[in-house]
Structures are given as structure tokens and as C-alpha cells.
Chains A and B, each alone.
Chain A
């Protein structure tokens, strides 16, 4: 039992919470007179933003707004430096070898679509794409579309009832027809931390490139793309305490170089004639049109914030909290928790024997507790487990043990409420 946890920047959890304006505001519920405290347990859907991020984005619009890469005036230079400066921060954040391997998109979904449309353009009916049964729809549907267009086939690494990949099937699923492997790093339903190192090394031994969906891992662990040796890594700013509308695609230079542009327009060209054009260098080849510069500036501030806290202390605190939550939640009667019982991320999907996840979420909302309920954009995995809907509580470093105690208390109360008097 720790008296008080102190992060690497010398702050306690209480002080960290003060960095997040939304955690200081009160919620006004429908027909509920007194505003109440927010207990935010939906970080896997989107993370809350520290003040520094909000200020960086606001400052851009107040003091630095200009279009980038084309203006020769001072503001234009400032905006360009800010935008490209954030690219350097992202490069360092995931330890990419080159800054031009970082491409700004709108979100993880767009990053994956970029790879599917561009890298996948040369695929044909003889090619296979190996995915897993636990992918988020955003790492499934783009490949289904590609399969319709090119005739390539989709194969899947199965999941066990415990929400883990059956990697013993990997050898037989990887064939000389496999053109790409796409796998989620941390599952947004089960909290499973997949053994992507093993998948990458097996795939590479057969010269097959691997795409990692890092939407859920990038906020909770240090990512080193060179050490992982993955070929593509996709993630979203909004899940990493940054603004919405910014996504990142990391790709290895040698692959990105060969890939055709994804969208056509301004900024992505070198020279345009009516009959054809030549492409700009990386990364701009993949960044057509005016980007969300304010959002990118905000994301730069989010990276600075995370670095100050340090992943060492984030992970240590979050692991402690996750273990506490796992123990507390599994002690509740009539609750089933999905996902691995051992090492896992702070994402807990659960169902209650006596009430539907929606009703659970609605009941918890009455007390200001924000959890998600539904199919979590992973319907194939849900179908496999024969559940149509789950409630999900997900954690971040700004959550506390007392919030988890409160959650447990209200889950129990929900069961009683729905059983009483009937």
C-alpha cells in the first residue's frame, strides 16, 4: 500500500487531476438539480486533455494561425515550424529512424485506410491479408473493401474465450501468399496486450510486412518502432491526451517510398501539368491539402506532457490501478469480466447477469460515472463470445482507487435496483 503515489514530474495524482480542466468541472444531469463530480472511466474511447494541450491549440489560433508550407510571411513560417516541430516530437516519441516516416492523418482509422488503399493497391486475388478476430472495425473494414476491389483474401488469427490470440495457429496461417499482417497491439475490448514481437518476427522471417494498430497501446506504454521493427504503426492523438482530428501513420521509409499517393491535391505534388503530376517527397506525398495545424500543435503539447510524466511512472501507476480494479471488479457477484486474468491493460469489459449493459451504463451515469456500453466496434469478437453488448470501464493515470471503489459500489447498487420489487 503506497501512501501517495508521486509521478516522475513530482506531482501526486490529485495534482495531476488539476491539470485536466474537465475533471474539475461538475456534471449536470437531466433533471438532477445538483451538479455532481465526473468519474471518467472511458479513456479507451477518448482521453481527457490537459490544460497545456487546450492552450497550445488555442494559442495557435490566437497568435500563430497561417497556412503552412506555402506562405512566405512570418506567420506562415511560425505555423510551418510548429507543424513540423510536432512531427519531430512524434518521431522522438516512437523512436522512428526518420522524421519523414511520420505522416499526419485524421485518426487511426484514416492511417489504416491509407495503408490499405495505397500499399494494398497492388494486391491481387492470389494475395492474403492476415488479421485477427479481435480487430477494431477500423482494422477490418478497410481490408474488406480492399478485398472487394482486388480479390485478395482475408484470414484471421482466432481468439480464445479468454480474449487471447491463438498464436499456436500462426505458423499455419502465415503462407507464401500472405502479403501483410495487421494486428491490434492492445485490444480495446479485452485489454489483451498481444505478443506482437512474436508475430512480427515470424512474419519477417517470411518477408511479410506487419501493420500494428496502436490506438490503445500508444497512450499506455512507450513505443519504439525500431525495436519492434513493425512496418506500419497507426495511432490517434485523441486517445493520447491530444486533440481530436489528428492521427499518425508511421511507415518504414522503404515502403512509403514505393507507395503511390493516397489522396491527390495541394501540398502532395512537386509539379503539376494538365496531363499529369509528380509527387512531393515523404511525408508530404501523403498529406494532401491544408492539414489540422492547430490540432498537430496541440498533439505536440500532449507529447510534451506525457514525457514530463514519463512512461515509467505512468505504467507503474496504471499497472497498480489495473490490478486493483481487476481484483475489485472480479469480487462482485453476478459480474463476468472478459479478457486475460494475468497481465493486461486497464480496459475492463463486463456483463451483469441481471441487467443489460445499457441499463448498467445508464445507472452509473446517474452517479457521474462514465463507462461505455455496446459492441465496442468489434462485433466479430463479440459474436465469437456470443455476447451482443458489454459495458466497459477503462483507466488512465488520472483515475484513482477511490473512483474504482465508487464504481464497484454502484455496480452492486445497479444489480439491486434492477432486481428490487419484481
Chain B
């Protein structure tokens, strides 16, 4: 049933116990990314290592299970990758979620659990919100 595809165990787990979610009150509200249709918001903080790789990504915000789990899994998968690599991943992830790509989420680790969201166009924005935020921060 599609509904259980949408809310797979792994999504519910990340939603209940988000990884790398911290209070980021030190970041001003101007830098919050918001989904204008629903009011969900996300803030990101990225620490880079000496060689310019993303050492740690933390997020804060208020979102549904889809956007929270997407943010949580995103912070895990981008760790240790270069800025260029991550920007490429973001582009690819967003296209896949919008169903505008031939590729699948096979190379995205646990994020494959979000494939069920593609069938719910209204929820795609929830899944991509943190990715747009990271793209803006890196660009």
C-alpha cells in the first residue's frame, strides 16, 4: 500500500530521532528556508574540514516526518564529501524527487526510502526543502 511506502520504517525512525539536529538559534531567522505553502522551515550549519570537505552538517527546524527525515539522512550522506560532489548530488536528488530524471535513489543510501514520496506531488517539496537549503548555503 502506497501509504506505507510513503512512511517507511526508516523515515519514521529518522523523524522521531533525527540525526544531527541541534538548536541553531545562533543563526538568524533571515537564513531560514521556508516552504511558503505550509510554513515548514529549516536552518543549516556546515563545518568544513581543512581540505574543504563537508565535515559536519547540522540542522534545526520545524517540519513534517518527510522533511525532517530527509534533512536527517541528508546530513549523514553528505558528510566527508567535497562541495562539488554534494552540489551534484543535490541537483540529482531534486530532479529524481520531481520525477524529472531517469535515475533512481539507488546511490543515495537510506534516502531510497523517500522514493515513495514521488507519487505524492504535494509532498515532494517537503522532501526537497533541506536540499534546497543546503544548495543555497554551498552555492
Please give the residue numbers on chain A whose beta carbons come within 8 Å of chain B beta carbons, in ascending order: 29-32, 355-359, 362-363, 366, 373-375, 379, 382, 388-389, 417-418, 421-422
Contacts and interface: CB of A to CB of B under 8 A. Distances in A.
B16 interface: yes
Contacts of A366: 3
A363 B15 CA distance: 15
Contacts of A359: 7, 15, 64-66
Given A356-B65, A422-B13, A422-B16, A388 B40 contact: yes
Interface of B: 1-3, 5-7, 9, 12-13, 15-17, 37-41, 62-66, 68, 119-120, 123, 126
Contacts of A421: 9, 12
A374 B65 contact: no
Contact of A418 (B12, B63, B123): B12
Contact of B65 (A30, A379, A418): A418
Interface majority SS (helix, strand, loop, mixed), chain B = helix
Contact of B2 (A32, A355, A358, A373): A32
Nearest to A419: B16
What 9 A-B pairs are tightest by C-beta distance, nearest first? A31-B2, A358-B64, A375-B39, A356-B64, A374-B38, A388-B62, A388-B39, A359-B65, A389-B39
Contacts of B16: 418, 422
Contacts of A373: 38
Contacts of A389: 38-40, 62, 64
A179 B96 CA distance: 53
A374 B39 contact: yes
6 contacts: A30-B119, A362-B120, A375-B38, A388-B39, A388-B41, A418-B7
Given A29-B2, A31-B1, A389-B62, 20 more contacts: A30-B119, A32-B2, A356-B63, A358-B65, A358-B126, A359-B7, A362-B120, A366-B3, A374-B37, A374-B39, A375-B38, A388-B41, A389-B39, A389-B40, A418-B16, A418-B65, A421-B12, A422-B9, A422-B13, A422-B16
Nearest to A418: B12
The residue in B39, B41, B62 that gathers the most chain A C-beta atoms within 10 A of its C-beta is: B39
Given A388-B41, A389-B39, A30 B126 contact: no
A231 to B, nearest CB: 33
Nearest to B65: A359
B36 to A, nearest CB: 9
A32 B64 contact: no
Contacts of A31: 1-2, 5, 119
Contacts of B17: 422
Contacts of A418: 7, 12, 15-16, 65
Contacts of A374: 37-39
Contacts of A355: 65
Nearest to A417: B7
A374 B62 CA distance: 12
Contacts of B40: 358, 388-389
Contacts of A358: 38, 40, 64-66, 123, 126
A358 B41 CA distance: 13
Nearest to B9: A421
Contacts of A388: 39-41, 62
Contacts of B1: 31-32
